[in-house]
Amino acid sequence: MKKLLLEAEIIENSVVIPQVRRMQLRAPEIAALVQPGQFVQVRKKESTVFLRRPFSIADADTEKGTICIMYRIIGKGSAEMAAMNPGEKISVEGPLGTGFSLGEGRPLFVGGGVGIAPLIFLTKRLQQKKPIVLIGGKNKEETFWTKYLEEYADKIYITTDDGSVGQKGFTIQAIPDLLEKNSIDRIAACGPMIMMKGVAEIAARYKKECEVSMEKRMACGIGVCLGCTFEGKITGRRRKVCSDGPVFPAKEVFK
């Protein structure tokens, strides 16, 4: 798929919760191409950090020509981005990587933390397949994602570490029950590695196809620096998170 490098105008850079921002960018060429699970690498001109920052696409609107990323303010790079205003431009490289396979049947999407962002776009694109979305967060504040999912998801389930909303505990504890009560054909997950490993194990036990979206430190985002590679468990080959992935069959990642 063709990759582009362009200066995109920021249309929105709003506060979702104090540490999370939602940035909408005018990038019609990327919006037209991007598939759920793919990402972009962004960088502010004259940034004080050296490398681009990878963000998965949380939404794309082909009519308006916009793409959306949702990001947590963690370090200098994201803090710089958070300080930018609508009207300013930011360099965007993308779409990058290989996204989710948009297969047949009813899907269950499992997300944790900022890993929920690409699942919004995925749920939107697969709305017809009546996706069930299960999200996990620390507390009630971290479940704001439902606001962006409810338009597209058939059902949303929530777990929180403190039980302040939804089921108390982790997403993986909630999955077996979901699989028993709903007709689900396949699973896709994005979140912390430990969560995705748990999802992959349950999927294998229930004989459901499962994909996971990986995150690893990367520099280039296009498969040249080899900062993000791992050994594929099915293929036995070196796989690049940035270009062969970030989405892989769960068995390629976890055995």
Partner 1 sequence: MINNRLAVNIAGIQMKTPVMGASGTFGFGIEYADFIDVNGIGAIVTKGITPLPRQGNPGVRIAETPAGMLNSVGLENPGLAVFLQEILPKLKIYDTPVIVNISAGTAEEYGQMAKALDVDGVAGLEVNISCPNVHEGGIVFGTDPKAAASVTRSVRENTKKAVIVKLSPNVTDVVQMAKAVEDAGADGISLINTLMGMAIDIRTQRPLLGNITGGLSGPAIKPVALRMVWQVAQAVRVPIIGLGGIVSAEDAIEFLLAGASAVAVGAGNFVNPRAVEDIAAGIENYLQQKKLQNVMELVGKMCIE
The least CB distance from residue 109 to partner 1, in Å, is: 28
Exactly one of 43, 44, 186, 208 binds partner 1 (CB under 8 A); that residue is: 43
Footprint of partner 1 on residues 3-22 (CB under 8 A)?
3-5
Q: Please say which residue, 58 or 241, places its beta carbon nearer to partner 1.
A: 241
220 sits near partner 1 (criterion: CB under 8 A): yes
For partner 1 (CB under 8 A), the number of binding residues is: 26
102 sits near partner 1 (criterion: CB under 8 A): no
Exactly one of 117, 149, 187, 228 binds partner 1 (CB under 8 A); that residue is: 228
Q: How far is CA 4 from CA 75, 91, 188, in A?
A: 26, 10, 27
255 sits near partner 1 (criterion: CB under 8 A): no
In the beta sheet, which residues pair with residue 251?
A: none
Tokens for 72?
Answer: 């947590």
225 sits near partner 1 (criterion: CB under 8 A): yes
DSSP secondary structure of the chain: ---EEEEEEEEEEEEEETTEEEEEEE-HHHHHH--TT-EEEEE-TT-SSSS-EEEE-SEEETTTTEEEEEEE--SHHHHHHHT--TT-EEEEEEEESB-----SS-EEEEEEGGGGHHHHHHHHHTGGG--EEEEEESSGGGGTTHHHHTTT-SEEEEEETT-SSSEES-HHHHHHHHHHHS---EEEEES-HHHHHHHHHHHHHTT-EEEEE-----SSSSSSS-SSEEE-TTT-SEEETTTT-BEEEHHHHH-
217 sits near partner 1 (criterion: CB under 8 A): yes
Site string for partner 1, 45-84 (x = CB under 8 A): ----xxxx--------------------------------
Q: Please say which residue, 64 or 238, places its beta carbon nearer to partner 1.
A: 238
33 sits near partner 1 (criterion: CB under 8 A): no
Q: Please say which residue, 40 or 199, places its beta carbon nearer to partner 1.
A: 40
* Binding window for partner 1 (CB under 8 A); candidates: 13-21, 106-114, 139-147, 213-221: 213-221
Q: Please say which residue, 20 or 96, places its beta carbon nearer to partner 1.
A: 96
Residues interacting with partner 1, by CB under 8 A?
2-5, 43, 49-52, 93, 217-229, 231, 238, 243
